Amino acid sequence: MSQKTVRLTMAQAVARFLTAQKTVIDGETLPIFGGVWAIFGHGNVAGLGEALHGVKDELPTYRGQNEQGMAHAAIAYAKASARRRFMACTTSIGPGALNMVTAAALAHVNRIPVLLLPGDVFANRLPDPVLQQVEDFGDGTVSANDCFRPVSRYYDRITRPEQIIPALRRAMQVLTDPAECGPVTLSLCQDVQAEAYDYPESFFAEKVWTPRRIMPDAEEFAVAAAALRTAKKPVIIAGGGVLYSEASESLAAFAEAHGIPVMETQAGKSALPHIHALNMGSVGVTGTSASNMLAEEADLVLAVGSRLQDFTTGSWALFQNENLRLVGLNVQPFDAHKHNALPLVADARAGLEALDAALMGWQVDSAWTDKALKAKEDWLKDADAARAASNVELPSDAQVIGAVQRGRARATLVCASGGLPGELHKLWRADGPGSYHLDYGFSTMGYEIAGGLGVALARPEDDVVVMVGDGSYLMMNSEIVSAAMLGIRLTIVLLDNSGFGCINRLQMATGGANFNNLFRDTKHVTLPNVDFAAHAAAMGASARKVASLSELEAGLRETEGRSGVTVFVIDTDPLITTEAGGHWWDVAVPEVSERPQVNAAREAYVKALRAQRAG
Ligand SMILES: Cc1ncc(C[n+]2csc(CCOP(=O)(O)OP(=O)(O)O)c2C)c(N)n1
Ligand SMILES: [Mg+2]
């Protein structure tokens, strides 16, 4: 058979193929790749670098400052695009590649599509060992990039130019699959990037990808619907899958039609607007008192698009009804079957709409719904109190959250780690779907700012506000430079409590001594007194330290709509968190210790374990 071919290097074929992949959003055909993040070096500058230059008008290349940071931005872009569009990231071999492994794991845990293209060593091995090559004494096929295997949904090493044909096809299949999607890593051997091959023209034909909506299986569906119909005290846990499936309206309709209270995971928060009467807010370890009280009593939990991680299930000690049945509505069978759930493998929207139709006319006893509405009212009083400003010298995280929302009414919030996620989960009042963006699957310190950049790229109309602790800021802040140079509108609120506040509190809660978390409890000669505002300003942000909550609120108001990166720094109290709501979390306490506080914590721990459901 004679195929029309074009002679290209492997790297040129990659670049050309990526530009040909499209999707349709709201009737508009768009490139599915929003761009490529790149830090060039040995192993990608000559090959992929040259190729990306050739397509830069159709597929923009952005320069990151740190490979992990740029991959965070790419992941945030995909998450903020409800996984409908995504980005690629390319690195040099060795340190550049490995800097991206943590980000790969973040995408893996959170099920976010991202195409990682680390450079790899020479396939021909003639110049070995090359700069930045690790040498395995016993296995000639190992390179540093093998570290990506356990944190990639699909991993491949390209050692011949024609291998890229099936590899890219498979990559697209994984990236666009709602059940399987996650990081795809194609390790591109340096010499092979530069090698030419006669590629079939058909490989570069435009291809339009649309999201697959998996319909429920009839039998599975009948069992799940019957379970719901007999439930007296059902609740819905809305996970990230609700947002990825763009199922918010169907969820609201379903909850309203049947009177079922809804609670949200970290990934699912903003599935319903906070003011929706049946939205009980966060659930689990960082849950509202309303959600947790209902979850404790529930005889049926319909988990929609949730991984059911320990923060959601209170380490499986949250649900106390002996007759609990769990229905797992999920595109991924792995999740749908968790904890012996009745599986309902389906797209969230398709599943909810089908259930709605099947249960037409059925409603839970209004006493259950009324109980939920009353519980929410009670919770909101506690939440209002926690968020309210006061004249304390050092405000709490909760008070800063209140000030941020008063200063920026329509903000899209980005966060990932520290004490803030718990407080935000309880207290942030989200409006539209996707206006609350957390990495709390991997809770990666350093995701926040780079993530904010990715969200702002994906949703340029949004008022993106990053909230970040001093610890996370110190771990990774350099994508401020990328945001500033790209003219990205981004606001960062930095809460400085002089250390790892949440881990210090966890340490105390498990009987530990104050040790090595807050700066004051560390081995030091001089206590750090970082001028964060000056630091951020030096990277191109407009930054200032504020002395009070009211100054923060006014500052946020004044700068709304301002272009560029704006940073506010505020000192906060490391010891205060919102006491209302919340649930036990399984953190193993030492069985023997010379510290009486540890022994007491252990005793409480052993007692608490009795509430945990096994399997
Ligand atoms: C990369 C990474 N390293 C370590 C941790 C464990 N960890 C979680 S929160 C935290 C402290 C965060 O400090 P900061 O950002 O100042 O927030 P705070 O706890 O003070 O609210 C640490 C060390 C993590 N989540 N991610
Ligand atoms: Mg801190």
Closest CA to 215 of 178, 172, 180: 178
Over residues 250-269, mean pLDDT: 98
| pLDDT over 90 (residue 2) | no
Mean pLDDT over the full length of the chain: 98
Q: Is 486 exposed, middle or buried (0-12, 13-18, 19+ CB in 10 A)?
A: middle
Measured from the Cα of 468, ligand 1's closest atom is 15
Query: Which residues have any ligand 1 atom within 6 Å of their CB?
Result: 417-420, 443-446, 469-472, 497, 500-503
* pLDDT reading at 451 higher than 90: yes
Taking only the tens place, the pLDDT of each residue in 97-133 is 999 999 999 999 999 999 999 999 999 999 999 999 9
Reported as a single tens digit per residue, the pLDDT across 187-203 is: 999 999 999 999 999 99
Q: Which whole number is the average pLDDT over 540-545?
A: 98
Q: Which helix (H) or strand (E) holds 293?
A: helix 289-297
Helix ranges (H only) for 331-476 are 333-336, 348-358, 366-387, 397-407, 420-427, 447-458, 470-475
From the alpha carbon of 420, which atom of ligand 1 is closest? 21
pLDDT at 156: 98
For the residues 582-603, what does the mean pLDDT come to? 98
Task: Give me ligand 1 centre to Cα 266, in Å.
Answer: 17
- Per the listing, tokens 């074929």 go with 13
pTM of the model: 0.98
For residue 374, the CA-to-ligand 1 centroid distance in Å is: 35
User: What share of the chain has pLDDT > 70, as a percent?
Assistant: 100
Q: Which ranges of 181-268 would DSSP assign to H, the alpha helix?
A: 190-193, 218-229, 240-244, 248-258
Distance of CA 74 from the midpoint of ligand 2 (Å): 26
Helices and strands (H and E) in the chain: how many: 24, 23
Structure tokens given for 319: 């649900």
Compute the distance between CA of residue 291 and CA of residue 317 in angstroms, rounded to an integer.
14
Average of per-residue pLDDT across 233-238 = 99
Q: Is the pLDDT of residue 181 over 80?
A: yes
Distance 394 CA to ligand 2 centre (A): 13
CA 241 to ligand 1 centroid distance, Å:
26
Residue matched to tokens 């909550």: 549
Residue whose tokens read 């110190």: 474
Which of the four pLDDT bands, split at 50, 70 and 90, describes residue 450? very high
- Spacing, Cα 208 to ligand 1 middle (Å): 41
Quick one: pLDDT at residue 605? 98
Residue whose Cα lies nearest atom 7 of ligand 1: it is 418
pLDDT value, residue 615: 84
Half-sphere CA count of 79, side-chain side, radius 13 A: 36
474: burial class by Cβ within 10 Å (0-12, 13-18, 19+)? middle
Q: Quick one: pLDDT at residue 254?
A: 98
Say whether pLDDT at 478 is over 90. yes
| Confidence band of 349 (pLDDT split at 50, 70, 90) | very high
pLDDT digits (tens, 9 = 90+) for 84-96: 999 999 999 999 9
Most informative mutation of 503, 570, 585 for ligand 1 (most atoms within 8 A of CB)? 503
pLDDT at 1 over 80: no
Q: Is the predicted pLDDT of residue 50 greater than 90, yes or no?
A: yes
Ligand 1 atom having least distance to the Cα of 502: 19
What pLDDT does 157 receive?
A: 98
- The bridge status of strand 154-158 relative to strand 86-91 is unpaired
Predicted local distance difference test score (pLDDT) of residue 374: 98
Tell which atom from ligand 1 comes closest to the C-alpha of 444: 26
